[in-house]
Amino acid sequence: MPPATVTEYPIHHSQAKSNTERPGAPVSGSPDLTSSWRQDVHFLGDKDGKVELRSPPNFNDISDARTHLKQHLAAAFRVFARQGFDEGVAGHISLRDPGNPSLFWINPLSTHFSQIRVSDLVLVGETGEVLPDGAQNPINGPAFAIHSAIHRARPDLNAACHAHSVYGKAFSCFGRPIEMLYQDALRFYNDLAVYPRYGGTVLTAEWATGSRLHWGRAAVNHGMITCGRTVDEAAFLFIALDRCCHSQLLANAAVCPGFEKRYITDEQAEFGHRRSGNASKMWLAFQPYYDQVVKEEPDLLL
């Protein structure tokens, strides 16, 4: 029997062989996403169908899949550094392990985003212990509290980004969601939550109790959190949300008589969200960033 195909898309808890599966074990299966890809990204090619757009790769070996995913995770940190999302030891991106959904990879504590390589990524266990299969470096305690809660509560999502970006922090002061004023904001239509009050430094997973994780793929609090089926999706959503916060602040500042804000209708916003904010489109949107940083900083793959 041929080995199962591994894709970049999520391996849900129900799809994993068991919660004790360790890195290096085979994966039990994956969904067929070919039919939805072209519909999601709606690209045009030649009349013979030979011009194809790149799409999330398939793998026959779980180790190859893990290597590929970790490369994109390391690249996401480099991209975040270029976007100015670094600030001391604040900020983290996590990625569920494709062979064991109860484990995830994350950045080491006190390593600048611009210096992170694949070999620096830490594999974290269910109770927060650093596992021997990854880099032997400590991790941020609040990072584990936040990301472990997300990964437990949302088995449909494989990656999560959290950072204290300038525009994200500024807009979070208002405790309001971004408004549907322009096309790029539609990516977050009915897919964004706001935590309206400061709850203190996160030290345990108790912050995730109640309804705090009952949001879509993005949230605004003291910084921002975005999630996705791939780290590419989550990372691009973070970039997009930070720019939406910036645009919202500019729009609010410009309001005056004769320059009132004009809102997109719910019907148009719903359609735009499906077309421009779907997971496939967000994966694709991150690839130019990945290409650029790998070409200019190839050491990240080490």
Complete domains list, the chain, with CATH: 62-176+192-241+283-297 (3.40.225.10)
Residue 13, pLDDT > 60, answer: no
Provide mean pLDDT across the span 222-227: 86
Mean pLDDT for the chain?
84
Residue identified by tokens 């999601």 is 40
Provide mean pLDDT across the span 89-98: 94
Q: What is the number of helices (H) and of strands (E) in the chain?
A: 7, 9
Residue 150, pLDDT > 70, answer: yes
Residue identified by tokens 């705090």 is 212
Residue type at position 231: V
| d(C-alpha 15, C-alpha 49), whole Å | 33
Which phi-psi region, left, alpha or beta, contains residue 128 (left: φ > 0; alpha: ψ -120 to 50)?
A: left
**Contact at 8 Å (CB) between 126 and 20?**
no
Handedness of CA 201, 167, 248, 174 (dihedral sign): positive
Lowest mean pLDDT: which of 35-39, 107-111, 167-171, 183-187? 35-39
**pLDDT recorded at residue 102:** 94
Residue 194, pLDDT > 90, answer: no
Helices (H), the chain: 34-41, 62-82, 141-153, 166-172, 231-254, 266-276, 279-296
Provide mean pLDDT across the span 238-259: 96
Share of the chain above pLDDT 70, in %: 81
Residue 29, pLDDT > 50, answer: no
**pLDDT recorded at residue 49:** 84
Model confidence, pTM? 0.84
**pLDDT recorded at residue 210:** 41
Provide mean pLDDT across the span 47-57: 90
More confident call, 233 vs 42: 233
What the block records as the tokens of 108 is 């080491």
Nearest CA among 228, 280, 294, 237 for reference residue 68: 294
More confident call, 24 vs 85: 85
